Structure 1
């Protein structure tokens, strides 16, 4: 499968960005109900890169350790999804989810639980909407919290998988006046990424037929 062209042309990138943005806007709506506050999410950029490039991209932007919510997904395309925050931003998100009345001790104690719940809402909505719009279904695992550098998050073995690519989304995340930047990364092998590319092409065909 190494000869497969996985790069997206401009139309495919635009279509994928639109699908992802609909997914995160649904996630924002679900999160708003959960926290009872205004939540805004947007995805200004979508890239397909290698694991090493994804780790380098985060490394250039973030100097501190990272916290991620990880969920496996399987279906027409399979892999693992990560919702990633710099450590200080993850604490701020936990505080936003738990409410200002929560003490520093409570936030510290329940941070992982609050993040897992938030990640579950965002990743399920994002991936579920993507699958639905591409006329597929995905099965998702329970969320798990992992911490460390970009290299650690993108490689469970500590060694990058040369045959894996990352669908890398930078997200702007605002919970009632708190600016919380983050990332969504979907790690997939070449066959899964190729399958996703075919599904995006089918989606574009359906949309253009309807116009």
Structure 2
């Protein structure tokens, strides 16, 4: 996944960087509290787990607001040029001319997978809050049958494993030398304005 670099400028605004690192912190906490007990580390993980999930929910809503009303939803939607870019990558450089884009096809694909996974985790996690006593509400697991709860747990667990895989993949590609300018941009805001250059 060799991404060409174009002009340097402001790639990520401060609000988007704060969302990214806030979400990263929540995902790390959620992953640690979900998987460390399975590995044998004993601690009171439930309060930290659901609190991190509740914090993640407004972060995602904030991001969705910026997607629809600031950036525009089409920036991340795969289009024809993205399909052609994937084709070029699988069979070598082709003759098709591609339009410049802030995000290339692979970044859009990763974002789509991560967004879908996080939304599934949030939806199932928020339902699962009904089984926890908090200062705001009393638990009421009777809202669903045992069979339905089982389905919710399986979906939540499968999505958690998917997010763990995506997190590892994200860190791996961020540390590759050809992608470090994107990592720097997520820290400072300055970076390549276009991930995909327009011509072959």
Which interval holds the TM-score relative to the shorter structure? under 0.3
Give the strand-richer structure, 1 or 2. 1
- TM-score scaled to structure 2, two decimals? 0.28
Give the helix-richer structure, 1 or 2. 2
Q: Whose RCO is larger (CA < 8 A, sep 6+)?
A: 2
